[in-house]
Chain A
Amino acid sequence: MSFPWAKHYEPKQPLMRWMDEKLPLPRLVYNAIGAGYPVPRNLNYFWNFGVLAGAALVCQIVTGVVLAMHYAANGAVAFGSVESIMRDVNAGWFLRYAHANGASMFLAVVYIHIGRGLYYGSYKAPREMVWLLGVVIFLLMMATAFMGYVLPWGQMSFWGAQVITGFFSAIPLVGETIRVWLLGGFAPDNAALNRFFSLHYLLPFVTAGVIILHIWALHIPGSNNPTGVDVKGEQDTVPFHPYYTAKDGVGVAVFFLIFAALIFFSPNLLGHPDNYIEANPLSTPAHIVPEWYFLPFYAILKSFTADFLLPAKLWGVLAMFGSILLLFFLPWIDNSPVRSANYRPTYRWFLVVLLIDILVLGYVGGAEATARNVIMGQIAAGYYFAHFLIILPLVSASERPRPLPNSITEAVLAKHAGTSPAKTAMAG
């Protein structure tokens, strides 16, 4: 589906006409990310991050496939094979640093992409399916990132695998059996390393498939925009190409600039020194910490220190998974008809608090478990759940939103005329 004024694909070249009759792939691309997709004209730079996430996935697949040609998924030689990539493979150091930092870049742009969705209400009707598929992509990414981190078979790889698979042993009665079944042994070893490698290679392609569904679902209602107001007519939109291909081009260029700075000048900034020590099941590192992008969730896990009906560990695991799974229900928890937080004066402030809260959780996740840090984490974890599960439904029922502009064009013109959309609405 598209808006009635969307441009139609009309190949003029005989070859392209021939192609269009046999396999209309160019038509599909034209309608998906070409001139055939009308997009609101007022998107800001936060709308670049979907394309950036796609670019990051392509980088990860390209570097990953080449790395897999040199890597050996065997506990005895995995660490050494990574070192031989770093030293003896042509540009191997570049591939490996690009892949390791690429994961961080991917997660970083996806976090901003999710934050954009939260702020501008992109999860709300009619885009619930886009959001649900997005959460599925996020879960797939987390699984892929975790298993990828195990592959170099350093100390953090091994002990991270030990801790994460240990979550399953929190399940009453059958937990330990499930853990052993998942690992293929009593502790992470060859069997676990091999299946993690296999799945680490598989899941990115599953992710790519779900991304196609994500974009497909997006194209049915069309893109949201910073006002959250529906597209009313042709004057509200511009064709995706050349307008947003040009704008995304700027985003992609800046993305690669930051990515390159990380790879070439500080490739180990986001890593942990212990992962340059080969995995040793007999020596536990002083602090086992996950990669930065998992720290807030790790903090939530660690915050549950009291037994209440269930053991503390089970509460922690439930809460950690729950903190992501609750995102699936967001479109129905928040039933304010207004999408954009720009017009939701109360909710907006709670979102600012949520951002700070997640940063605090990230800090606590990586810090030592002193009483001060644990208490900070417990308060922050409490706010995280309160925000989504208690504050959001209450605020969405009670809040009085600011007047919405009548249309995207009106909001744009009002911005350029230096008056607020509300005034224009009253005058008009």
Chain B
Amino acid sequence: MARLISIVIGAAFVFVLALALFGTARTAITDPAKESAEHVFHLHPESIGLPSAGLFGKFDRQQVQRGFAVYKEVCAACHSLKYVAFRDLTKIGYSDAEVKAIANQWAIEQPSVNPETGEAATRKNLPSDHFPSPFANEVAARAANNNALPPDLSLITKAREDGPNYVHALITGYRNQPAELLKEFPGAKTPPGLHYNPYFANLNIAMPPPLTSDGQVTYSDGTKATRDQMARDVSAFLTWTAEPNLEARHAAGLAAVIFLMIFVFLTWGAYQNVWRGIEH
């Protein structure tokens, strides 16, 4: 009886699935899905081989500091970095005094209250503060950016597929819309106020090209600030902001894996020893 009921229920599910399959197949023939411009022209980022990539990757402190310079001079005008504190900069090689100076001289001040009147005010940043947002709130950010919201960058390299490579590819990927695209998809012309970028998911991004010329940022370590170099460096910096404990993680991982390999070997030996002479 149980088996009879089982077969009837099974047949019902299979029948409904067969109906659904028939419907899907018919739609696929009568009304096939059309190719979209995003589908055909979207590009995946090329690997830039950052030193932090790979199993035992480490940060290049110099590069991360250069990337911080790019963030400070270029990105920080629109993008917040709210999960990172000034004090965290000591981990990329700045001294306590340097961090204090960086915080103190930061262009945007920290929201605060006037200690006498209680009215809203601002004060200079302290090392313990997180990076202040360039906009007071989302409405202000959208109002200043053609209704687009510049995302917070703290986690951007983990919040995008293949993040570190994506950031570099996106920043350097601006170009004119290819003629073939407009020929194939006449409706897909980049709307005014947006910029064509094949690395962006829907091809049209609100952010104007941030790095427009070589030497836009002055590097203190003598590295030539080409656009490609600046994009690489800021991507290294944002890899650090998203995963500041990456080096500790890799080091602990190496130790853990070596320890556990010895552990596997020892347990295997114990197993062989205990079972000696017992066929199984």
Tell me the dominant secondary structure on chain A's binding face.
helix
Q: Which residues of A lie under 8 Å from residue B25 when comparing CB positions?
A: 371, 375
Asked if residues B6 and A393 are in contact (CB atoms below 8 Å), the reply is yes
How far is it, in angstroms, between the C-alpha of A326 and the C-alpha of B7 when the chains are bound? 12
| Contact between B280 and A42, CB atoms less than 8 A apart | yes
Closest chain A residue to B245, Cβ basis: A93
Beta-carbon contact of B160 and A254 below 8 Å: no
Q: Determine if A273 is an interface residue (Cβ-Cβ < 8 Å).
A: yes
Contact indicator A277/B253 (Cβ below 8 Å): no
Contact with A along B247-279 (1 / 0, CB 8 A): 011101110110011011011101101110011
Instruction: Give Cα A39 to B242, complex, Å.
Output: 50
A238's partner among B2, B15, B254, B278 (CB-CB below 8 A) is B278
Q: Taking the complex as formed, is B32 at the interface, i.e. its CB lies under 8 A from any CB of chain A?
A: yes
Whole-angstrom CA separation of A335 from B10 in the bound complex: 17
Taking the closest CB of chain A, its distance from the CB of B128, in whole angstroms, is 11
Task: Report Cα–Cα, A389/B7, bound state, in Å.
Answer: 5
Assess the A249–B267 pair: CB atoms within 8 A. Answer: yes
Contacts of B279 in A (CB 8 A): 41, 412-413, 416
B101 within 8 A of A: no
Q: How far is the CA of A93 from the CA of B242 in the complex (A)?
A: 12
Q: Closest CB-CB distance, B162 to chain A, in whole Å? A: 9
Number of interface residues of B (CB under 8 A): 62
Contact assessment for A382 and B163 in the assembled complex, using a CB-CB cutoff below 8 Å: no
Interchain CB contact (< 8 A) of A308 among B16, B270, B280: B16
Residue of chain A at shortest CB distance from B262 = A253
Residue of chain A at shortest CB distance from B32: A371
Q: Are B32 and A381 in contact (CB under 8 A)?
A: no
The answer to whether A386 touches B275, judged by C-beta atoms less than 8 angstroms apart, is no
Minimum distance in angstroms from B253 CB to a CB of chain A: 2
Q: Is A243 positioned at the interface, with any CB of B under 8 Å from its CB?
A: yes
**CB of B200, distance to nearest CB on chain A (Å):** 12
Tell me if A305 and B2 are in contact (CB < 8 A): no
| B249-A267 in contact (CB<8A) | yes
The answer to whether A390 and B11 touch across the interface, beta carbons within 8 angstroms, is yes
**Do residues B17 and A247 form an inter-chain contact, with CB atoms below 8 A?**
no
A391 to chain B, nearest CB (A): 8
- Taking CB atoms, residues of chain B closer than 8 Å to A94 are 249, 252
- Contact pick for B274, options A242, A286, A379, CB 8 Å: A242
Chain A interface size, as a band, is 35 or more
Q: Is A305 touching B24 in the complex (CB atoms < 8 A)?
A: yes
Q: Are A412 and B280 within 8 A (Cβ)? A: yes
What is the minimal beta-carbon distance from B265 to any residue of chain A, in angstroms?
A: 8
Cβ of B211 to closest chain A Cβ, rounded Å: 24
Tell me if A110 is interfacial: C-beta within 8 Å of chain B. Answer: no
Residue B3 CB within 8 A of the other chain: yes
Q: Mark A109-139, 1 if CB is under 8 A from B, else 0.
A: 0000000000000000000000000000000
Q: In the bound complex, do residue A87 and residue B83 qualify as a contact, i.e. CB atoms below 8 Å apart?
A: yes
Are A385's CB and B271's CB within 8 A? no
**Residues of B close to A306: CB separation below 8 A:** 16, 19-20, 22-23
Residue A304 at the chain B interface, CB threshold 8 Å = yes
A378/B17 in contact, CB under 8 A: yes
Whether A13 sits at the interface, judged by CB under 8 Å, is no
Measured between beta carbons, the chain B residues less than 8 angstroms from A390 are 6-7, 10-11, 14
What distance in Å separates the Cβ of A98 from its nearest Cβ neighbour in chain B? 11
Chain B contacts of A84 at CB under 8 A? 83
B55 at the A interface (CB under 8 A): yes
B58 beta carbon closer than 8 Å to chain A? no
A397: Cβ under 8 A from any B Cβ? yes
Tell me the nearest residue of chain A to B161, going by C-beta: A273
Q: Which residues of A contact B264 (CB under 8 A)?
A: 250, 253-254, 257
Q: With CB as the reference atom, state the residue of chain A lying closest to B254.
A: A264
| Residues of chain A contacted by B95 (CB below 8 angstroms) | none
User: Do B3 and A335 touch across chains, with their CB atoms under 8 A apart?
Assistant: yes
Q: Do B250 and A265 have beta carbons less than 8 Å apart?
A: yes
The interface stretch among B66-74, B114-122, B151-159, B219-227 is: B151-159
Q: Which residue of chain A has its CB nearest to the CB of B241?
A: A87
The residues in A between 250 and 267 inclusive whose CB is less than 8 angstroms from any CB of B are 250, 252-254, 256-257, 260-261, 263-265, 267
| 8 chain-A/chain-B pairs, Cβ below 8 angstroms | A247-B271, A249-B267, A254-B264, A276-B159, A322-B9, A333-B3, A375-B21, A382-B13
Closest 6 CB pairs between A and B?
A264-B253, A389-B10, A371-B28, A393-B3, A276-B159, A306-B20
